[in-house]
Amino acid sequence: MFKDFFEGDPAQLAPLTLAYIGDAVYELYTRLEVLGNGNIKVNELHKKVVQRVKAQTQSKLFQEITNDLDEIELAILKRGRNAKSKHNAKNAEVIDYRRSTGIEALIGYLYLKKDKKRLEDILQKVNDIIKE
């Protein structure tokens, strides 16, 4: 989708760096997925996206996908969850915020690893869980 700006092993990056990238990737993916469901007003689009990307939703995803991950992916997920952030969770419990950071770290890792197939698999699984 974009020029390869990052060359290296994403597993060597700090988990909060992975989460920073993963947050952007997941937000864009979610916006495009919601938009793909039909032409809706921007305000409604925003509400639907916020519902999917908020910490509470991502916390649920964390719990649902752990069994579908390989050893390295699970380690990245847990590193993200356990990362100490100076940022306080707004409108979320600390555990939800930490789990959401884990999800974002995993997405950032897969994106930077350029593992498009696995990233798409995980994002599809996430969509399936959200739609339940």
Question: Strand, helix or coil at 56?
Answer: helix
For residue range 79-110, what is the model confidence (pLDDT) as tens digits?
Answer: 999 998 777 667 788 888 899 999 999 999 99
Q: Which residues are catalytic?
A: 23
Q: Model's pTM, two decimal places? A: 0.90
Neighbouring C-beta atoms of residue 132, cutoff 10 Å: 6
Question: Strand, helix or coil at 35?
Answer: helix
68: amino acid identity, one letter: D
Q: Which helix (H) or strand (E) holds 75?
A: helix 71-82
CATH ID of 10-131, from 3.40.50.2300, 1.10.1520.10, 3.10.129.10, 3.40.50.620: 1.10.1520.10
CA nearest to 16, candidates 99, 120, 127, 102 = 102
For residue range 24-35, what is the model confidence (pLDDT) as tens digits?
Answer: 999 999 999 888
